[in-house]
């Protein structure tokens, strides 16, 4: 300590070094962000405007790739799938998460155990989640067979291999994986609600469900925001779960944009189109999540 | 935990509480069933799987599927089990977690205690970075890794995870260090303490909780990663998640469901253990990582 001090005060160089140190320490991260994040984003946008196929090319193609993209039936399928998956996944995770959090907020014996059980799926990778659910939903040996063994011999539950229904199996697995996490978010929010407000409502004779509906839940706005932003991001980026559970199939029935991007950029040698689909994903995140973040930050600075 | 519980919940009628507990227990069963199913399937013989059903308890439990999953199951053309890939993930996760956490710690220290013109802007740019879909960086990164001869290597994958983990680790430490009064640091500076002395003597001693959160968060993220692993590696370099996916989705041969489930459990064990041992920090990481800025 004293050595450093003497060094620093003895020479101007040491002094200047001390003043430079913070910036020096930050510079690797700064450079990484500039090059590997923002630089790469510009790079990918550029790629999407070229004729790159198997190898990157610098031949300008304007918006041609975006035209091809939106002329491509698989892309439309993946967008529609994302719509179905996203709405159901976000809606169900929020509803189940909030519901469980409210129940757990009722001075429950063994609350800690329930929390551990509800939340553990979040520790698992989506690949493991997908593998587990693929097994459970396997028509030959899974739930369908289980129910048939119970005597309901005509019971049918083959969603996993049914093109019309396969997308819903992804919803089941994804909700299983992250609803416990949403529960944890809401529980933390509930514990932060001001007691005085609730007590006042109780003295007024309001029933418990009524208090939750008109006092507690409205005050959880920031938690709703966090959960919504997070789940939206997760839905748009969904990739692993699909790879493990359905591989995008049957056919393209469970293709999502992330699968489209991977497939075209790295399997089919359509780099520019892959890049264009990635840009569309970025735009989607920006449009859906951006306003929320802006709104939140503005609200925060108002307070 | 608040004070309100006593007065508030005493009024819930007994029938209501019965309903609440029933729902909570049913929910617990729903969350636990997949784990139960993979565990029991992983110790059944193939014959027992075909004779029994999803939930039936194995009458003759066997560890053979585990042995096969570990050392001889085939994924793609190679039949060496998942052990190679398990160790790949171990070799990947340790340096990647340590390096990104170390950078996060000093970054957070600078961004809160040594602020300069533009440091807030820098932090905001980094924060936005946590929302950007990684699909936007895959193509350039593949090219760069090729140029510096780190394609298809653990070292390259470590680099990728360090770079894209920095925003999160910096965010964690920044949000933690912002609570440490700057007067403390200023006083130490007047006493002649330098940049690193202050970091070692003042910041680090109080940092254990945030180190736990960051390390656990990074460990789970990197261990569970699939996208970077599948794009930037091939064959024997795959991390465990990619190997597991290949194992389960190989189209050739008889499906060995019990081996698949054992492999899934092997891939899941490290993060499950971390969650069971340090669940408190895991949850804090999840909530801190969820944009609370």
Instruction: Say yes or no to pLDDT of B82 above 80.
Output: yes
Residue of B nearest to A173 (CA): B34
Residue B61 tokens read as 């439990």
In this predicted structure, what is the pLDDT of residue A144?
85
The candidate with the shortest Cα–Cα distance to B162, out of A28, A268, A165, A139, is: A28
- Average pLDDT for residues B146-167, to the nearest whole number? 96
In this predicted structure, what is the pLDDT of residue A296?
67
Residue A124 tokens read as 């698992």
Answer whether B137 sits within 8 Å of A8, measured CB to CB. no
Helix axes B14-41, B257-288, angle to 10 degrees: 130
In this predicted structure, what is the pLDDT of residue B87?
97
B257–chain A Cβ distance below 8 A for any pair: yes
The rounded distance, in Å, linking the Cα atoms of A258 and A235 is 10
Lowest pLDDT segment from A280-289, B240-249, B281-290: B281-290
For residue B89, list chain A residues with Cβ-Cβ distance below 8 A: none
Residue B4 tokens read as 């309100």
For residue A229, list chain B residues with Cβ-Cβ distance below 8 A: 290-291
Q: Which residues 76-95 of chain A have a CB within 8 Å of chain B?
A: none
Q: Which residues 96-115 of chain A have a CB within 8 Å of chain B?
A: 100, 103-104, 106-108, 114
State ipTM. Answer: 0.91
For residue A142, list chain B residues with Cβ-Cβ distance below 8 A: 54
| More reliable by pLDDT, B181 or A303 | B181
Answer whether B192 sits within 8 Å of A233, measured CB to CB. no
| More reliable by pLDDT, A223 or A15 | A223
Residue of A nearest to B289 (CA): A230
Residue B228 tokens read as 């970077």
The rounded distance, in Å, linking the Cα atoms of A53 and A68 is 13
Tens of pLDDT, residue by residue over A63-86, are 889 999 999 999 999 999 999 999
Answer whether A226 sits within 8 Å of B275, measured CB to CB. no
Interface test with A, best of B15, B26, B34 (most A CBs within 10 A): B34
Confidence grade of residue A7 (pLDDT, cut at 50, 70, 90): very low
For residue A185, list chain B residues with Cβ-Cβ distance below 8 A: 287, 290
Instruction: Say yes or no to pLDDT of B72 above 90.
Output: no
The third-level CATH classification (topology) of the domain covering A72-302 is MetI-like fold (1.10.3720)
In this predicted structure, what is the pLDDT of residue A77?
94
Residue A108 tokens read as 């429950």
Domain assignments of chain A as residue spans, ordered by start: 72-302
- Say if strands B78-79 and B74-75 run parallel, antiparallel, or are unpaired: antiparallel
A227–chain B Cβ distance below 8 A for any pair: yes
> Three-state SS for B74?
strand
Residue A89 tokens read as 């996944």
pTM value is 0.91
């Amino acid at each position: 300590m004293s050595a450093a001090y003497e060094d620093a005060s003895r020479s101007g160089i040491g002094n200047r070094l001390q003043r430079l140190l913070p910036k020096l320490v930050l510079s690797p991260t700064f450079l990484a962000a500039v090059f590997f994040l923002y630089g790469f984003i510009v790079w990918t946008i550029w790629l999407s405007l070229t004729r790159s196929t198997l190898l990157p090319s610098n031949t300008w193609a304007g918006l041609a790739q975006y035209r091809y993209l939106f002329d491509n039936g698989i892309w439309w399928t993946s967008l529609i799938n994302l719509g179905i998956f996203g709405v159901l996944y976000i809606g169900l995770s929020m509803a189940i998460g909030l519901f469980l959090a409210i129940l757990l907020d009722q001075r429950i014996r063994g609350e800690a155990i329930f929390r551990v059980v509800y939340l553990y799926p979040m520790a698992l990778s989506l690949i493991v989640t997908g593998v587990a659910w693929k097994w459970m939903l396997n028509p030959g040996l899974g739930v369908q067979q289980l129910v048939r063994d119970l005597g309901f011999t005509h019971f049918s539950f083959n969603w996993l291999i049914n093109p019309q229904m396969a997308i819903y199996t992804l919803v089941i697995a994804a909700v299983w994986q992250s609803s416990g996490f949403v529960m944890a978010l809401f529980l933390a929010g509930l514990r932060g609600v001001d007691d005085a407000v609730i007590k006042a409502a109780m003295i007024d004779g309001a029933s418990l469900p009524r208090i939750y509906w008109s006092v507690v839940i409205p005050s959880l706005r920031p938690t709703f925001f966090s959960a919504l932003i997070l789940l939206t991001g997760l839905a748009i980026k969904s990739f692993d779960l699909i790879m493990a559970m359905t591989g995008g199939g049957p056919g393209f029935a469970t293709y999502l944009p992330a699968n489209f991007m991977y497939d075209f950029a790295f399997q089919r040698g359509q780099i520019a189109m892959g890049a264009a689909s990635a840009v569309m994903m970025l735009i989607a995140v920006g449009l859906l999540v951006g306003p929320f973040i802006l709104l939140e930050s503005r609200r925060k600075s108002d307070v | 935990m608040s004070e309100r519980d006593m007065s508030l919940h005493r009024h819930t009628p007994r029938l209501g509480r019965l309903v609440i507990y029933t729902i909570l227990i049913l929910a617990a069963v729903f969350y636990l069933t997949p784990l139960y199913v993979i565990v029991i399937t992983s110790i059944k013989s193939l014959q027992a799987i075909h004779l029994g059903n999803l939930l039936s308890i194995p009458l003759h439990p066997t560890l053979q599927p585990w042995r096969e999953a570990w050392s001889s199951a085939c994924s793609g053309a190679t039949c060496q089990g998942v052990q190679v890939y398990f160790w790949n993930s171990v070799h990947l996760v340790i340096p990647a977690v340590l390096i990104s956490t170390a950078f996060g710690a000093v970054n957070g220290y600078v961004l809160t205690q040594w602020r300069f013109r533009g440091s807030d802007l820098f932090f905001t740019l980094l924060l936005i970075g946590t929302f950007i879909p990684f699909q936007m960086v895959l193509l350039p990164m593949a090219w760069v890794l090729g140029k510096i001869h780190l394609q298809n290597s653990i070292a390259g994958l470590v680099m990728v995870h360090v770079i894209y983990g920095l925003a999160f680790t910096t965010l964690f430490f920044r949000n933690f260090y912002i609570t440490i009064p700057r007067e403390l640091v200023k006083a130490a500076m007047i006493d002649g303490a330098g940049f690193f002395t202050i970091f070692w003597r003042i910041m680090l001693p109080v940092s254990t909780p945030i180190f736990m959160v960051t390390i656990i968060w990074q460990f789970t993220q990197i261990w569970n990663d699939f996208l970077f692993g599948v794009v930037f590696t091939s064959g024997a370099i795959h991390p465990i998640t990619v190997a597991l996916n290949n194992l389960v989705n190989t189209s050739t041969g008889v499906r060995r469901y019990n081996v698949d489930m054992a492999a899934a459990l092997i891939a899941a064990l490290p993060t499950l253990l971390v969650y069971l041992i340090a669940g408190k920090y895991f949850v804090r990481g999840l909530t801190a990582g969820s944009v609370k800025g």
